[in-house]
């Protein structure tokens, strides 16, 4: 492989009246200005605000300090439950799940229920019994499920997180950080089933009885109150205090906000997300589908083949600022014919201030036959 480095300068909007429409190229100036706002003063013991597609940190306060997550633990539980198989499948309720202390969807001994209903009951009503039932259905045992939770946290990069149970009930060895929860939530929101559950305002489960047995309303007010709110999960224990992971999307920019041990959880999350939309927007830094560079071809009908990105790249840019990027192409010295359109071949990294902010695969943009002396 060979590396090619190119410097480019992206001019952000100079007046900042909202994020670029993903269907349009960015303009260099707009007529109506929207004033930027200062970072709010918040009461959370720790907090973080990130742009979801890149993970760029827009605000943080004590984001790497250890804290107790309470029921936002269930974000990881839901993700693993979804990934364990068909969410429509009907599963038996584990005996260990029945009567779990705290918030409940009132599972009964011997009950059979769709995994989907358990997931909604866990995420919307914060049912601790539902979390235990999901874990028992998704792994050989609840203990093994907790092992999987910790393994997945490590894979995601949440290195300062340690889970002891699927629900978030307090345990001195059950801890996380605001930064880690942002990473976990970002990973979960890549899953379309999780996104749908996290954004739901209510859900009717296929169970006997009436509310609270079969009708779940979302306790997370973000989906009702905040313009563009898309989820995700709240939590509370007396020791952890109020914990919240909130997400929202406006004008093509999605943000994830985590506040831990915060008496003003919703107000602070809304203020932080307002801060994001007032100060940042998504700018198209590169088009997709067109050629970016040529890669030499060995024994092909042509001596090179064009390569480029599958789609455009958008990055968060502070309004009114210029964005200087270093592009690092990592491509093969040559490719062998025949080649196929959309054959993956190398990567393109976008670097800013010494850090990689985005990585995208490069694809060959044409079919190329082997060299034939008869032609």
> What is the Cα–Cα distance from 85 to 118, expressed in whole angstroms?
13
Say which DSSP state 300 is in.
B
Tell which residue, 238, 103, 99, has the closest CA to residue 170.
Answer: 238
Tell which residue, 78, 42, 60, has the closest CA to residue 266.
Answer: 42
- Give catalytic status of residue 126 as yes or no: yes
> What is the Cα–Cα distance from 235 to 193, expressed in whole angstroms?
21
- Give catalytic status of residue 141 as yes or no: no
Tell me the two tokens of residue 226: 């905040």
Asked if 200 and 124 count as a contact pair (C-beta separation under 8 A), the reply is yes
Catalytic site residue from 12, 67, 71, 248 = 71
Tell me the two tokens of residue 286: 């590169």
Catalytic site residue from 46, 126, 167, 248 = 126
Distances (CA, A) of 249 to 236, 260, 276, 281: 25, 21, 11, 11
Tell me the two tokens of residue 374: 């008869």
> What is the Cα–Cα distance from 103 to 325, expressed in whole angstroms?
48
Catalytic site residue from 12, 53, 56, 74 = 74
Asked if 175 and 65 count as a contact pair (C-beta separation under 8 A), the reply is no
Positions marked active-site: 71, 74, 126
């Amino acid at each position: 492989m060979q590396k090619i480095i190119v410097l480019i300068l992206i001019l952000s909007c100079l007046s900042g009246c909202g994020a670029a429409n993903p269907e349009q190229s960015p303009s260099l100036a707009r007529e109506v200005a929207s004033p930027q706002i200062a970072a709010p003063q918040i009461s959370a013991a720790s907090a973080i605000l990130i742009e979801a597609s890149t993970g760029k940190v827009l605000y943080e306060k004590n984001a790497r300090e250890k804290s107790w997550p309470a029921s936002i633990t269930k974000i990881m539980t839901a993700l693993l439950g979804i990934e364990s198989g068909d969410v429509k499948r009907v599963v038996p309720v584990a005996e260990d799940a029945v009567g779990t202390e705290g918030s409940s969807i009132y599972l009964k001994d011997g009950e059979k229920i769709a995994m989907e209903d358990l997931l909604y009951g866990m995420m919307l009503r914060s049912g601790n019994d539902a979390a235990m039932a999901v874990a028992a259905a998704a792994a050989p045992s609840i203990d093994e499920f907790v092992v999987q939770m910790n393994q997945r946290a490590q894979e995601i990069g949440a290195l300062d997180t340690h889970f002891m149970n699927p629900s978030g009930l307090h345990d001195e060895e059950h801890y996380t950080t605001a930064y880690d929860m942002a990473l976990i939530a970002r990973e979960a929101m890549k899953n379309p089933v999780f996104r749908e559950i996290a954004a739901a305002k209510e859900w009717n489960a296929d169970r006997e009885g009436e509310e609270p047995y079969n009708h779940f309303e979302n306790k997370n007010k973000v989906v009702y109150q905040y313009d563009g709110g898309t989820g995700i999960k709240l939590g509370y224990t007396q020791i952890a205090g109020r914990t919240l992971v909130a997400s929202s999307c406006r004008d093509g920019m999605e943000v994830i906000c985590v506040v831990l041990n915060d008496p003003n959880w919703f107000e602070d999350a809304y203020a932080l997300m307002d801060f994001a939309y007032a100060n940042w927007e998504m700018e198209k830094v590169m088009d997709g589908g067109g050629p970016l560079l040529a890669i030499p071809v060995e024994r092909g009908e042509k001596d090179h083949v064009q390569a480029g990105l599958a789609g455009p790249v958008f990055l968060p840019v502070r309004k009114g600022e210029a964005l200087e990027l270093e592009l690092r192409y990592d491509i093969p010295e040559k490719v062998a014919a025949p080649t196929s359109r959309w054959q993956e071949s190398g990567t393109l990294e976008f670097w800013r201030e010494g850090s990689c902010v985005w990585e995208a695969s490069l694809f060959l943009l044409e079919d190329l036959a082997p060299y034939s002396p008869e032609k």
